[in-house]
């Protein structure tokens, strides 16, 4: 009886620290992607975090597809739209191949990786380089080198139309 009483008193005091209803409501974002050119990335804000929306060129898609999944430091897709054990093939990282939607938070210690462009290459894999500790991601946002343990997360998202996505 005593234990139940204590737990009943303790739980509200603990649960109050979890995200409030307002925070949860701000959990969905609708994003207009019409203005993004091939080879370009725009950073949006989703749940307070950077959201990378990158429109990939055919070359970037091809180089991502050419990678052997077994050689990757993190072989899992990390895609909230797919089961946990889905492998990190290029197909499992996107909904439409041309569009890469990622949470722009380095899986090492939370910094925002810098996108690689032909004018300003970042890292050896054409994707992103995180300047905090040197993690390098490829054109599918998968970790290839450096201390980050996981591929960049793919959030829950879907296409409302060709030019609009809903995230979260």
Partner 1 sequence: MSGPSTYDPKSGLEKWIDSRLPLPRLMHDTMSTFPTPRNLNFWYTFGGILTFCLGVQIVTGIVLAMHYVSTSALAFNSVEAIMRDVNYGWLIRYVHANGASMFFLAVYIHMFRGLYYGSYKAPRELIWIIGVLIYLLMMATAFFGYVLPWGQMSFWGATVITNMFSAIPVVGSAIATWLWGDFAVGDATLNRFFSLHYLLPFIIAGVVGLHVWALHVPGNNNPLGIDVKTPQDTVPFHPYYTVKDAFYLVLFVILFASFVFFEPDFFGNPDNYQPANPLVTPPEIVPEWYLLPFYAMLRSIPDKLLGVIVMAGAIVTLVFIPWLDTSRVRSCRFRPLMKQFFWAFAVVCVILGYCGAQSVEATAFGVPLVWVARIATLYYFAFFWLIMPIVGLIETPKKLPASIAQSVLGDSAATPAE
Burial class (CB in 10 A: 0-12, 13-18, 19+), 36: middle
Q: Using CB under 8 A, pick the residue from 36, 111, 145, 159 that binds partner 1.
A: 111
Q: What are phi and psi of 36, to 5 degrees?
A: -80, 125
Site string for partner 1, 12-31 (x = CB under 8 A): --x--xxxx--x---x----
- Tokens 């990282």 correspond to 93
Instruction: Please tell me whether residue 47 binds partner 1 under the rule CB under 8 A.
Output: yes
Instruction: Please tell me whether residue 10 binds partner 1 under the rule CB under 8 A.
Output: no
Of 46, 108, 131, 133, which one is the catalytic site residue? 133
Q: Using CB under 8 A, pick the residue from 108, 151, 152, 157 that binds partner 1.
A: 108
CA distance 155 to 87: 16
* Minimum distance of partner 1 from residue 25's CB (angstroms): 12
Instruction: Please tell me whether residue 131 binds partner 1 under the rule CB under 8 A.
Output: yes
CA distance 77 to 84: 8
Residues involved in catalysis: 133
């Amino acid at each position: 009886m005593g234990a139940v009483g204590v737990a009943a008193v303790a739980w509200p005091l603990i649960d109050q620290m979890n995200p409030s209803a307002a925070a949860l409501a701000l959990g969905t974002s609708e994003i207009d992607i019409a203005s993004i050119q091939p080879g370009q990335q725009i950073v949006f804000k989703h749940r307070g975090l950077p959201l990378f929306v990158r429109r990939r060129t055919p070359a970037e898609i091809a180089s991502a597809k050419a990678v052997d999944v077994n050689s990757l430091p993190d072989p899992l897709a990390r895609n909230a739209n797919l089961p946990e054990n889905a492998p990190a093939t290029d197909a499992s990282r996107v909904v439409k191949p041309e569009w890469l939607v990622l949470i722009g938070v380095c899986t090492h210690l939370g910094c925002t990786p810098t996108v690689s462009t032909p004018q300003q290459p970042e890292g050896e894999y054409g994707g992103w380089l995180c300047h905090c500790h040197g993690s390098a991601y490829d054109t599918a946002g998968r970790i290839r080198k450096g201390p980050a343990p996981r591929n960049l997360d793919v959030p829950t998202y879907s296409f409302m139309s060709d030019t609009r996505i809903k995230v979260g």
